[in-house]
C-alpha cells in the first residue's frame, strides 16, 4: 500500500512542470531619444561700415597763381591727385596742395575710391598781375664758370634733398605768421625782361629790417631738413624747414642759424638772425615757400604785413 502510494506520488511529480528559472537582473541604462535639431541658417554678415567723409572734394584757400588749398578728399578715397601731382592724405583724408607762380587757369582734383569709382573736381586758378620790369638792354651774355659750378653742384644737390624730405609735421595745417616784421623790399614773382628775354623771377619775399642780427621765428611748425654749417655760394647761411605734405620754407642770407638738422620746431620759435651772407646787397631775410616743384607766394599764407 505504501509502495503504491509512493509510485502514485512519483507519477504525480513527474507530470508536474517546474517553474522557469528567474534570470539575474541586468544593469541596463535607459536612454531617452534626443531630437535632431533643425539646421540653423548662418547669420548674414554685418554690412561693412560706410566710409566717413564728404561725397566729393571740399577745399578752401588762396586759389590763385602762387597760392594754396587745404581740403578733404571724398570718403573712401584710396588715392588722389592735383593734375599730375599725387596728394598725401592723412587719416581723415585731408590734404594740402598749391599752385605754381605760372599755373594755368584751371586745375583738376581727382580721387580714386575703393569701389573703383573716380571723382573729379575742377578748380579755377585766378591769374596774377606780376611786377614785370622791361629793360631795353641785352641780357648779360655768358653763364657760370666751371670753377663756380664745381662748388655749386653739391650745394644744389643738398638743397634738392632737403626740399624733397618727407617729415611727420602738421605745420601745413596752421595759418602762417610773419617770421619778422619790416619793409618788404622784394616781392614774389617780380621779374625783369631784357629786350624780350625773361630773367628768372623772384622766388620769394624779401624783408628788410635795417640791420643785421635781427632775430626771426618759424612761421609754422616743422622739421629742419637743412642748416648749412658754412655759407652757400648764393644763399649764404641757408635754413630749410619742412612743414609736412611737401610744403617747405627756405630762409636765406642769415647771419646766424639757431637750430640744427633733424630738429623739430614750433610756430613762433626763434630759429636764427637776419644777415647779408651769400649774394646779398644788404641785410634782409629772403623767405621762399615751395610745394613739391611749385613756387609759392608767402604773402598769400600770412596776409598783409602787420
Q: How far is CA 229 from the centre of its chain?
A: 29
Q: Show the cell assigned to 180.
A: 619778422
Give the pLDDT of residue 10. 42
Is pLDDT at 9 greater than 50 in this prediction?
no
Alpha carbons 194 and 187: distance in angstroms, whole number: 19
Region 291-302 average pLDDT:
97
Alpha carbons 257 and 265: distance in angstroms, whole number: 13
Give the pLDDT of residue 138. 86
Task: Give the least confident one: 16-20, 89-93, 119-123.
Answer: 16-20
Region 248-263 average pLDDT:
98
Alpha carbons 113 and 51: distance in angstroms, whole number: 10
Instruction: Note the pLDDT tens digit of each residue in 75-99.
Output: 999 999 999 999 999 999 999 999 9
Instruction: Note the pLDDT tens digit of each residue in 33-65.
Output: 544 555 555 666 656 555 678 999 999 999 999
Q: Domain map of the chain by residue range?
A: 58-124, 132-302
Give the pLDDT of residue 38. 58
Is pLDDT at 238 greater than 50 in this prediction?
yes
CB atoms under 10 Å from CB of 188, counted, come to 25
Question: What's the CATH number of domain 132-302, 2.70.70.10, 3.20.20.70, 3.40.640.10, 3.40.605.10?
Answer: 2.70.70.10
Residues whose CB falls within 8 Å of the CB of residue 231, separated by 6 or more in sequence, listed in order: 237, 238, 277, 278
Place of cell 628775354: 197
50 vs 197, which has greater pLDDT?
A: 197
Is pLDDT at 25 greater than 70 in this prediction?
no
Say what the pTM is.
Answer: 0.82
Give the pLDDT of residue 44. 61
Amino acid at each position: 500500500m505504501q509502495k503504491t502510494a509512493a509510485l502514485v506520488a512519483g507519477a504525480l511529480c513527474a507530470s508536474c512542470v517546474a517553474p522557469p528559472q528567474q534570470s539575474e537582473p541586468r544593469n541596463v541604462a535607459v536612454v531617452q531619444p534626443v531630437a535632431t535639431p533643425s539646421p540653423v541658417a548662418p547669420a548674414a554678415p554685418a554690412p561693412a561700415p560706410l566710409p566717413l567723409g564728404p561725397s566729393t572734394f571740399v577745399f578752401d584757400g588762396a586759389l590763385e597763381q602762387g597760392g594754396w588749398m587745404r581740403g578733404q578728399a571724398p570718403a573712401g578715397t584710396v588715392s588722389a591727385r592735383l593734375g599730375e601731382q599725387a596728394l598725401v592724405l592723412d587719416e581723415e583724408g585731408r590734404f594740402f596742395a598749391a599752385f605754381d607762380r605760372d599755373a594755368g587757369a584751371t586745375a583738376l582734383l581727382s580721387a580714386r575710391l575703393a569701389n573703383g569709382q573716380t571723382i573729379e573736381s575742377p578748380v579755377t586758378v585766378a591769374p596774377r598781375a606780376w611786377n614785370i620790369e622791361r629793360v631795353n638792354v641785352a641780357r648779360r651774355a655768358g653763364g657760370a664758370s666751371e670753377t663756380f659750378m664745381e662748388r655749386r653742384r653739391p650745394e644744389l644737390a643738398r638743397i634738392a634733398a632737403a626740399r624733397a624730405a618727407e617729415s611727420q609735421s602738421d605745420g601745413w595745417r596752421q595759418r602762417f605768421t610773419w617770421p619778422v616784421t619790416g619793409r618788404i623790399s622784394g616781392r614774389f614773382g617780380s621779374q625783369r625782361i631784357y629786350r624780350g628775354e625773361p630773367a628768372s623771377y623772384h622766388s620769394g619775399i624779401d624783408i628788410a629790417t635795417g640791420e643785421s642780427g635781427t632775430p626771426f621765428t618759424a612761421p609754422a611748425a616743422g622739421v629742419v631738413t637743412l642748416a648749412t654749417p658754412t655759407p652757400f655760394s648764393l644763399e649764404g647761411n641757408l635754413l630749410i624747414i619742412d612743414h609736412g605734405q611737401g610744403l617747405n620754407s627756405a630762409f636765406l642770407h642769415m647771419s646766424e642759424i639757431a637750430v640744427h638738422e633733424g630738429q623739430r620746431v614750433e610756430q613762433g620759435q626763434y630759429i636764427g638772425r637776419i644777415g647779408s651772407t651769400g649774394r646779398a646787397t644788404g641785410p634782409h631775410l629772403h623767405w621762399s615757400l615751395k610745394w613739391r616743384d611749385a613756387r609759392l607766394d608767402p604773402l598769400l599764407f600770412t596776409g598783409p604785413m602787420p
